[in-house]
Amino acid sequence: MKNEGMNCQRETEVVLALRTGDFTDELRAHVAGCESCGEALAVASACQAAPGPETVPDASLLWRKMELRLKRERTEAAMRPAIIAERLTTAAFAVCAVLAIPWLAAQSPMLAIVAVAALVLIGISAASVYWLAASKR
């Protein structure tokens, strides 16, 4: 067999024969005379001798979990534009309100005080709503 100085081309054959137990006399004779395949057999035997996992997650349960996760992710993705629009609207409202206060103060100081109080109340309410929504998520 062509050895190419490093790995024999029959190494994969040796590994697969070990897996399937289909070791022909010819292959056994080759391994006996091939250092590369001998080493490959030693390594593969040791690795394959280790027992496999006792359990794997249940396929049905995993499928359900994946379906639920997919559904949740798609809902979140669908909600993303609405959330962005909502935040932009809030930011625009806040900017307009802040710009309006000096104008209101020029008209009537009392009106400005009422407007600031209203803004603070709106701000607190909005923050509570966001906090509740975030904690639910």
Partner 1 sequence: MTGILSVAAVPSKTAADAGRLAMTEQEFRHFYAETARPLKSYLTRITGQADLADDLLQEAYYRMLRAELPALDAQQMKNYLYKVATNLTRDHFRRPSRQETPAEEMQIADPRAVGSSASLDIQRVLSTIKPQEREMVWLAYVEGASHREISAITGVKESSVRPLLYRIRQKLAALLCDSGLDGGSK
Candidates 21, 25, 26, 49: give the one binding partner 1 (CB under 8 A): 49
Please say whether the beta carbons of 14 and 37 come within 8 A. yes
Candidates 47, 85, 117, 132: give the one binding partner 1 (CB under 8 A): 47
Q: Token pair of 67, please?
A: 């379906």
Contacts of 14 (CB under 8 A, 6+ apart): 27, 31, 37, 40, 41, 44
Q: Token pair of 80, please?
A: 């993303």
Helix axis angle, 11-20 relative to 35-49, nearest 10°? 30
Q: How far is the CB of 134 from partner 1 (least distance, A)?
A: 23
Q: Which of residues 15-34 bind partner 1 (CB under 8 A)?
A: 15-16, 19, 31-32
Q: How far is the CB of 83 from partner 1 (least distance, A)?
A: 19
Q: List the one residue out of 128, 125, 102 whose CA is nearest residue 115.
A: 102
Distance CA 50, CA 122 (A): 65
Q: How far is the CB of 18 from partner 1 (least distance, A)?
A: 9
Task: Show the binding pattern over residues 53-82: x = contacts partner 1 (CB under 8 A), - = does not.
Answer: xx-xx-xx-xx-xxx-xx---x--------
Q: How many residues bind partner 1 (CB under 8 A)?
A: 40
Distance CA 74, CA 81 (A): 12
Residues that bind partner 1 (CB under 8 A): 4, 6-7, 11-12, 15-16, 19, 31-32, 36, 38-54, 56-57, 59-60, 62-63, 65-67, 69-70, 74
